[in-house]
Amino acid sequence: MARETVLTPGHLIHPAFVREGITEPVPIASMPGQQQETIASLILAVRDAVDAGCAAVLLFGVPEHKDAEGSQAWAAEGIVQRALRSLRHEFGDRCVLIADCCLDEYTDHGHCGVLRADGSVDNDATVTLYTRVAVSQAAAGADMIAPSGMMDGQVAAIRGALDSNGFADTAVLAYSAKYASVMYGPFRDAADCAPRFGDRRSYQMDVANQREAVRRAVGDVVEGADMVMVKPALTALDVVARVRDATDVPVAAYCVSGEYAMLHAAAAAGAFDERSAVLESLTAIRRAGADLIITYDARRAARWLREELNGV
């Protein structure tokens, strides 16, 4: 009766990897319980998420062929575009479809944008390609575009491109505070997007910075973001709280692959009960101020929460 923070299935977003060129799902070794999906298995996973009451699905694509620009990211027959059309046909408006908008899964070098001759990322050229990706994803059925590359000006450019191409109602969820974190390791296995050289510290945020996160979130709102995101979540709860206080749009927090792997490894080692630890962690993210939580435990946590509600 006196509980201050409420966690429900509707606060949870299920992230999914859909891979081109496979005939059955492929388990992700570093993320127990997770897998790369075919479009057919993706439909089953999304049905499970919808039936469990999850708020939305966030799609990441793993193409069969990659190149220096990541051209499959905006291809009309790209893996995410085909998956979006299939999900829209299958579920209609029953599921909110969010498309990750970046190039790292699609480039042969693994960086989030096109490269200059010296190997650095060309911010402006990359943003131009992001606009092509966003329009292509919206045309395929995405309700929301989530630019994750942390390029300067990406939100304004994507918002302008969507509006000018007839997608004014397509929302933008900005990865506003995305840290250059070690917690993304398992994700890079899942999406086959580890940089072939260097790292991403030149365009992702220093994990030591909090005020910068607030500036970036506020700036993205000014540029037209409908929602903002903090990533990772558990190692940045202070940032979630600061961004929540500084903005008046919904705030999402991404409980990332490394955080997922740590919780599950500790539970497997007998350190604590897995279900209790997952729900406590998600509640902590909500308590910090997140309106929405992207978590690889979304479907299981949603079912657990429904069981608690029903007294099971």
Catalytic positions: 178, 231
Using CA atoms, how far apart are residues 295 and 45, in angstroms rounded to an integer? Answer: 14
- Cis, peptide link before residue 32, omega less than 30° from 0: no
Residue 218 parent element (H or E): helix 211-223
Using CA atoms, how far apart are residues 54 and 284, in angstroms rounded to an integer? Answer: 18
DSSP codes joined into one string, 267-308: HHTTSS-HHHHHHHHHHHHHHHT-SEEEETTHHHHHHHHHHH
Residue keyed to tokens 């490394």:
258
Q: 5, 287 in Cβ contact below 8 A? A: yes
